[in-house]
């Protein structure tokens, strides 16, 4: 099965969002504040799909096409606003991810954090 993530760059996705925005003249609404609020709202829509369900129920639901599609589209909504936010703030997502993971490696060294969900300040 082909996987689009294997052939699509972050920049491809950022450009997709710019084209969509500019064709509709929505740049005027894409302030950093509006975009982070929309990002959070969409994250909550994604979270709502899991509300009141047990881990076992969710495991079963994730095997069903209709639920997978709903969750995939909500994830896409979250990602769309992340990409829009990166576009208007000129944040290089790959650079930020790389730097943040270096920090995370320092905060969570494997020898202290392996197999535990303890927060870094209590390790």
Contact positions toward Mg ion, by CB under 5 A?
42, 45, 77
Question: At closest approach, how far in Å is the CB of 48 from Mg ion?
Answer: 9
Give the C-alpha distances (Å, rounded to integers) separating 52 from 57, 60, 72, 109, 111.
10, 14, 19, 34, 35
Question: At closest approach, how far in Å is the CB of 74 from Mg ion?
Answer: 5
CA dihedral 100→101→106→110, nearest 10 degrees, is 160
Closer of 46 and 86 to Mg ion (Cβ): 46
Closer of 43 and 108 to Mg ion (Cβ): 43
Closer of 14 and 45 to Mg ion (Cβ): 45
> CB nearest Mg ion: which residue?
77
Opening angle at CA 109, ends 105 and 110, nearest 5: 110
Question: At closest approach, how far in Å is the CB of 6 from Mg ion?
Answer: 25
Question: At closest approach, how far in Å is the CB of 76 from Mg ion?
Answer: 8
Closer of 42 and 82 to Mg ion (Cβ): 42
Question: Any residues with CB less than 8 A from the CB of 58 and at least 6 apart, and which?
Answer: 50
Rounded CA separation 24/57 (Å): 40
């Amino acid at each position: 099965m082909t996987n689009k993530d294997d052939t699509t760059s972050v920049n491809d996705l950022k450009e997709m969002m710019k084209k969509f925005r500019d064709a509709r003249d929505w740049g005027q609404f894409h302030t950093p504040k509006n975009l982070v609020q929309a990002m959070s709202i969409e994250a909550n829509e994604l979270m709502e799909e899991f509300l009141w369900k047990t881990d076992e129920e969710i495991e079963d639901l994730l095997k069903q096409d209709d639920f997978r599609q709903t969750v995939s589209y909500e994830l896409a909504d979250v990602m769309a606003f992340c990409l829009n936010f990166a576009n208007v703030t000129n944040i290089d997502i790959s650079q930020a991810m790389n730097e943040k993971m270096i920090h995370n490696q320092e905060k969570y060294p494997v020898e202290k954090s392996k197999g535990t969900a303890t927060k870094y300040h209590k390790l």
